[in-house]
A and B are shown apart, each in its own frame.
Chain A
Amino acid sequence: MTLALLALLGAPLQAAEPTLPFEQYQLDNGLNVILHVDHSLPQVVVDVWYGVGSKDEVAGRTGFAHLFEHLMFMGTTRLPGSGYDDLMEQYGGWNNAWTAEDSTNYYDVGPRELLPTLLWMEADRMDGLARAMTKKKLNLQRKVVLNELRQSILDVPYGSTEIEISPAMYPAGYPYAHPVIGSPEDLNAATVDDVVGFFDQWYVPDDASLVVAGDFEPDQVKPLIQRLFGGMASVPLPDRPAPPVPELPARPLVETTDQVQLPGTMLSWHSPAALSPGDAAMDALATILGEGMSSRMQARLVHDEGKVTELQVYQYSQKLSSIFQVFAVCAEGVQPEEVEAEVQEELDAIAARGPTEDELQRARNAIELQRIQELEDLHSRAETLNRYHFLTGTPDYLAKDLARYTDLTVSDVQAAAATLTLARRQTLRIRPQRAAQGGDK
């Protein structure tokens, strides 16, 4: 470490802590409501978070939570057909949604004048989506989801890892043991009765959290929320006992192929759950190893040795348990085994000696900057409030979240690295199906 570099690192920043103000309350039926006012731009975001994801799917219906998400846009008896999108876009709004292992999130964005309409539409489908469900709608979205599988996974280089990793990491029956996208066989087996049952069980006020963010007046919006959402019945959620946190991968070594020319490898370990002790240390470790060209693995594998073309290191944080992953595409002529050995050497080195204070401070700087940048976007803020509420029971978590990183010590990161051993590792190798093309010569 040069003196010049030490000077650059400097002391921790003294800027005022970023804040994320909100007001929270609950309707009598259990719906959680979070209001976040920001008059800086003439826009609003409505973000509805349901605590159901692929982890809640039953055997033979993998992929259903995500398929159901698509069906949420297919109309109700009060607003049939494509009315959801038509009406929203008619006034400059748009929407999107995502499904993950833990939860499903729907969000609507638009001008402030559209807020009452957006709230009506979210309440309408929360109340009565299933009553308008038909086999025709189901069949159409089944086709769309299968196209999504092809486009986003099967035809993407190394996309097969998304299919392979879940059953390799988790034992059969574990809530995360199958990919979110599910299997084509299970998607094709889904029925309208499945849709109605899933809706009645999970799309209820007790399982939902509504964030309204942006340019609005709470005094005007609260009565509207009460009128639109307050009449729905409370439906107790089924018990979902947390399964034991897995320690070892279900299948330590998996070899697969993909339509690529260069081999790749994905190394995975079970790691602490989102926002639990040890989760932040894994984030910092990922940054120290793989963020920026001077990070340990980038510097060695990509820059100095040229053995890796693309490298990603990250902690994929989830509610029940997380995964720490290293993904690498090998350079031409380099075999995955060679890369895997060097990755393990780097992990073992940090486990033995820890990172330096400078490395940890760099990681803090990078993570802090990323968190501040996320606060710029209104939708990002809305989703962050819902995510905090989902994971901790309160949206009031930004300061605690940031403190997790400022409080980290090199010993914490060293301890995190010490869990990433060869014995606990899952290795997923991707061999090329295609011969090298050199095709542009």
Chain B
Amino acid sequence: MTLLLTLLTLGCAHTTKVPTFVGPAGTLDGGPTPPTAEPPPFSPPQAQRLDLPGGGQVWLIERPGLPLVSLRVIVPGGRAADPAASPGLVSMADEMLTHGAGERDAQAFAQAMDALALDLSASTDDTATVISLDTHAERLEPALDLLADALLRPIFAADELDRLRDQRKGELTVDQDDPRTVAGWVMDRVYYGEGHPLAHPAEGTLESIASLQADQLRASWEARRGATAPVFVVVGDVTADTITAELEARFSGWETAGSPAAVPPAPQPITQGPRLVLVDNPGATQTRLSVRMPAPAAADAQVEGARLGAIVLGGTFTSRLNRLLREEKGYTYGAFAGLQTARQDGVVVVGTSVQRDVTAPALQDLLGELRRIHEGLTAEELTKARGSRRTDLVEASASRSSLADLQVDLVLQGLAPDAYARQASEEATVDPAAALAAMSGSTLDHASVVVVGDLSVITGPVQAAVPGAWVVTDRLGRPLPAATK
């Protein structure tokens, strides 16, 4: 609990000046022992795609060695499928899947999962629900029985919904006190714009979850599940023959009708930005600074350039943002930036928490780096970004669950199983000019900036440091009367 982790996995703009050494190579005085060779390109193991006779598809990577199996089921929809009047409906329906199914009520289902030491849960992504199952390989069959109950025979009991609603109400209340969570809620509304399918919190709000009814949840789940045949991702100690037979035995009754959920539109481009937003967090000793800028979508030809550019900006400890804001100025514990891609669009997300009293200069410096990246990047910076990306993928290939999640990312983005190999070869060809071109749309003119902090202290300095049309919103991003601050 009190273990303190230093945040060193963050992003460098300069190459190292290594002093001249006098000792023999391979000794301390001989200087840093150089790498033995350039690491070859790496891409994670590629899934084989199998069709289930009764419909549906399996992305499989066989990984013996340890008796573990990780399985994911992807059902399109996600929070984008929330009705405008009912934010949180989809995620509440998803959570109910494991709170009573088949012949078991919620408590009996929980007992069955715990008896098997199953990690079985549903998470609501932007455009899909991902049901995750991580199990000991020797308990795979009873685990799949429970999974099938959850997906095909959920109960959606009204009294269980009431319990979950009360629980979520408490969670949302705690979340209101977390500046990072609040910044995310506000950013979604400000960046996507009111009315966009992704402009609300996946978890919903205290108001919206109050009126949800069990039959709404059932209808939402059945419509989403029935729209398409299932896609299973399986990684672990199981063979193709076994897993296809086991899935076919349980899911051949997965009937499909209707049409798949539509991919949400890309947001209306922000022009004459950035949109500037202040959110009050009274008494906070730090200020949360967040920026979101448009970027290429997952299948865009320039996406690898944008990915590497974002790493240069803030993807490693010696990246430009972390070097400036933490290591030079001491304003923060860490600053990051990264590329997030979807089918419909991509975004560069930037975030840091800074000491309250330096909010204004820290924001100026942060925005300054976001402008400076358009002046150019160096080949050395790109080399470092490629190395970082390679190491991330090697590490993510170690565990069955993280390897399964890598495959889920491909499915969600509409990419083929060989996408990581293709990305690696494309990354190798990105030069500074290509990276710069790929980032050309990621400018402050098209950005949203959200500042969450103690407005009684920071408002004046922030508005003086960054002139513009600042808007004060509540914790969900809804504008407040200007007179309040």
Once A94-B317, A376-B400 are accepted as A-B contacts, the answer to whether A116 and B35 lie under 8 Å apart by CB is: yes
Which of B65, B176, B355 has the most CB atoms of chain A within a 10 A radius of its CB?
A: B176
Complex Cα spacing A410 to B204, Å: 43
Among residues of B, the one whose C-beta sits closest to the C-beta of A220 is B36
Task: List residues 5-59 of chain B with CB under 8 A from any CB of chain A.
Answer: 5-9, 12, 14-19, 21, 26-29, 31-40, 42
Q: Is the CB of A148 within 8 A of B6?
A: yes
| Shortest beta-carbon distance from B90 to chain A in Å | 18
Q: Is the CB of A127 within 8 A of B28?
A: yes
Task: List residues 190-228 of chain B with CB under 8 A from any CB of chain A.
Answer: 205-207
What 0/1 readout, one digit per residue, does chain B (110-154) give for beta carbons within 8 Å of chain A? 111111110000000000000000111111001000000000000
Q: Is the CB of A309 within 8 A of B171?
A: yes
Q: How many A-B residue pairs have CB under 8 A?
A: 338
Chain B interface residue count, CB cutoff 8 Å, equals 106
Residues of B within 8 A of A415 (CB): none
Q: Is the CB of A437 within 8 A of B176?
A: yes
Among residues of A, the one whose C-beta sits closest to the C-beta of B237 is A15
Q: Is the CB of A117 within 8 A of B117?
A: no
Categorize the interface residue count of chain A.
35 or more
Residues of B within 8 A of A295 (CB): 114
| Shortest beta-carbon distance from B245 to chain A in Å | 21
Among residues of B, the one whose C-beta sits closest to the C-beta of A166 is B2
Residues of B within 8 A of A70 (CB): 6
Which of these, B28, B34, B68, contacts A376 with CB under 8 Å? B68
Residues of B within 8 A of A42 (CB): 39-40, 42, 394
Which of A115, A306, A331 has the most CB atoms of chain B within a 10 A radius of its CB?
A: A306
Which of B14, B16, B318 has the most CB atoms of chain A within a 10 A radius of its CB?
A: B16
| Shortest beta-carbon distance from A272 to chain B in Å | 17
Q: Is the CB of A376 within 8 A of B169?
A: no
Which of these, A85, A144, A180, contacts B4 with CB under 8 Å? A180
Complex Cα spacing A361 to B116, Å: 10
| B397 is an interface residue with CB less than 8 A from chain A | yes
Q: Is the CB of A155 within 8 A of B170?
A: no
| A347 is an interface residue with CB less than 8 A from chain B | no
Residues of B within 8 A of A14 (CB): 138
| A336 is an interface residue with CB less than 8 A from chain B | no
Complex Cα spacing A146 to B66, Å: 42
Interface residues of A: mostly helix, strand, loop or mixed? mixed
Q: Is the CB of A82 within 8 A of B333?
A: no
Which of A18, A79, A377 has the most CB atoms of chain B within a 10 A radius of its CB?
A: A79
Which of these, B26, B327, B383, contacts A140 with CB under 8 Å? B327
Among residues of B, the one whose C-beta sits closest to the C-beta of A38 is B398
Complex Cα spacing A291 to B173, Å: 23
- B282-290, B299-307, B435-443, B456-464 - interface stretch: B282-290
Which of these, B106, B167, B330, contacts A147 with CB under 8 Å? B330
Task: List residues 83-117 of chain A with CB under 8 A from any CB of chain B.
Answer: 83, 85-87, 89-101, 109-117
| A58 is an interface residue with CB less than 8 A from chain B | no
| A3 is an interface residue with CB less than 8 A from chain B | no
Task: Sample 21 A-B pairs with CB under 8 A, ordered by A number.
Answer: A5-B112, A42-B394, A82-B327, A89-B384, A90-B15, A98-B4, A116-B35, A147-B331, A150-B353, A151-B333, A180-B4, A259-B177, A260-B174, A292-B113, A294-B114, A316-B2, A329-B174, A358-B115, A376-B398, A438-B206, A440-B205
Beyond A90-B387, A109-B391, A150-B355, list 17 extra A-B contacts (CB 8 Å).
A8-B116, A15-B137, A42-B40, A99-B6, A113-B38, A116-B26, A116-B35, A120-B31, A124-B32, A139-B330, A140-B330, A148-B4, A151-B333, A369-B68, A434-B282, A439-B176, A439-B475
Contacts from B to A (Cβ < 8 Å) = 1-9, 12, 14-19, 21, 26-29, 31-40, 42, 65-68, 106-108, 110-117, 134-139, 142, 163, 166-167, 169-174, 176-179, 205-207, 282-286, 316-318, 323, 326-327, 330-333, 353-355, 380, 383-384, 386-388, 390-391, 394-395, 397-401, 474-476
